[in-house]
Amino acid sequence: SNSCISDDPDLKDIDPAVLKHCHAAAAMCILEAGKQKADLAAISTCLEDCKLDKERIEQFCTEYQKNKDALEILLGSIGRSPLHITDVSWRLEYQIKSNQLHKTYQPSYLVTLNVENSDSGSHPDVSFSCTMEQLQDLVGKLKDAAKSLERATQM
Amino acid sequence: KLNIGVDTLQHGIEGLTYLLTESSKLMISEIDFQESIHVLGFSDELNKLLLQLYLDNRKEIRSILSELAPKLPSYHSLEWRLDVQLASRSLRQQIKPAVTMKLHLNENEDQTAQVLQTDPATLLHLIQQLEQALGEMKTNHCRRIVRNMK
């Protein structure tokens, strides 16, 4: 980003220190507006107080409006949270025997939850085996959670 | 009190243990069991006792043996909680629903608990995928295999 500022023909005559201040000020303004979910009226008022002229305020607000949603998504994703499940994969096996026990004849599931860390992104997956009954228990509980979620959103 | 040597007693117990564990492991039928011990030349009464001993304890022995097989962490239970994030340091005025879960697993005799979270869309996806998994055992393919394996 340093290079794209110094390469821009409009900007190369300006004192780099001033440029840096402007960039920082603009960034702070944008982030604060985003954090507070400020509407355009509030932003305009703020910029008026900063003695910006009407044309600049309008330009700023138009650009802000264009990027507002993306900004909110970005800000919302910053922060700590428990390991986040992104996907699941499963494997069904039919156990026949082991060296300890023959003729077991039992279905067995291997479930892998793909998880993401809010900080570093990747994280080793959580894998576990379960019987059919246990998987039914798990699915039942997940369905309870989903039903609860649905009821909550209807309130 | 039994009036036999320690060695004899030990061998007796080891022999009995071996007999019962091997029979249970292989899940041999009554007839096969009887034929196998017949070779040992014991009395009919003793043979009957041994057979009964085998049949009575077979299930328990098998469940103990099943603990010895290589295992991955296995499912124990799941607790869940519905959360709505209202604000964070970086963003105010949010409404971000999430499901927070505590997955309890059994791992080599220890119980571990892992806290996980997911969003509503992923939750529905998980449910759909796992329901598909459950449905697999009922398909013709799996039913045929199960029938032919026995």
Complex prediction ipTM: 0.76
> Nearest CA to CA, how far is B32 from chain A (Å)?
15
Answer whether residue B14 is part of any domain. Answer: yes
Q: Identify the three-state secondary structure at position A66.
A: helix
Determine, for residues B97 and A152 on separate chains, whether the beta-carbon distance falls below 8 Å: yes
How far apart (Å, rounded) are the C-alpha atoms in residues A29 and A56?
14
pLDDT for residue A77:
84
Q: Does A155 touch chain B (CB under 8 A)?
A: no
Say whether both B28 and B64 belong to one domain. Answer: yes
Q: Would you call A94 exposed, middle or buried from its count of C-beta atoms within 10 A (0-12, 13-18, 19+)?
A: middle
How far apart (Å, rounded) are the C-alpha atoms in residues A141 and B130?
12
pLDDT for residue A3:
58
Using an 8 Å CB-CB cutoff, list chain A residues near B91: 34-35, 37, 72, 75-76, 78
Say whether both B114 and B96 belong to one domain. Answer: yes
Say whether both B130 and B142 belong to one domain. Answer: yes
Q: Does B131 touch chain A (CB under 8 A)?
A: yes
How far apart (Å, rounded) are the C-alpha atoms in residues B107 and A30?
49
Query: For A128, which of B73, B130, B136 is closest by C-beta distance?
Result: B73
pLDDT for residue B103:
95
DSSP state of A127: E
Using an 8 Å CB-CB cutoff, list chain A residues near B27: 102-103
pLDDT for residue B42:
86
At B126, list the tokens. Answer: 């998980």
With a cut of 50, list the residues of chain B below it in pLDDT: none
Residue pLDDT tens, chain A, 155 long: 555 555 677 777 788 888 889 889 989 999 999 999 988 898 888 888 888 888 988 999 999 999 999 999 999 888 888 899 999 999 999 988 888 888 888 899 999 999 988 777 678 899 999 999 999 999 999 999 999 999 887 86
Say whether both B48 and B13 belong to one domain. Answer: yes
Residues 6 or more apart in contact with residue B150 via CB below 8 angstroms: A105
Q: Does A110 touch chain B (CB under 8 A)?
A: yes
Sign of CA dihedral A141, A147, A149, A155: negative
The pTM assigned to this predicted structure is 0.75
Using an 8 Å CB-CB cutoff, list chain B residues near A147: none
Say whether both B86 and B42 belong to one domain. Answer: no
Range of the domain at B14: 6-68
Determine, for residues A132 and B94 on separate chains, whether the beta-carbon distance falls below 8 Å: no
Among the residues of chain B, which ranges form H helices? 6-26, 30-38, 44-66, 120-136, 140-149
**Domain end residue (candidates: B47, B68, B89):** B68
Determine, for residues A82 and B91 on separate chains, whether the beta-carbon distance falls below 8 Å: no
pLDDT for residue B66:
83
pLDDT for residue A4:
59
pLDDT tens track for B34-68: 988 888 888 889 999 999 999 999 999 998 888 88
Say whether both B57 and B16 belong to one domain. Answer: yes
Backbone angle region of A113, left / alpha / beta, with phi > 0 → left and psi within -120 to 50 → alpha: beta
Say whether both B62 and B11 belong to one domain. Answer: yes
Task: Provide the domain count of chain B.
Answer: 3
Say whether both B55 and B101 belong to one domain. Answer: no
Q: Does B64 touch chain A (CB under 8 A)?
A: no
pLDDT for residue A2:
56
Answer whether residue B1 is part of any domain. Answer: no
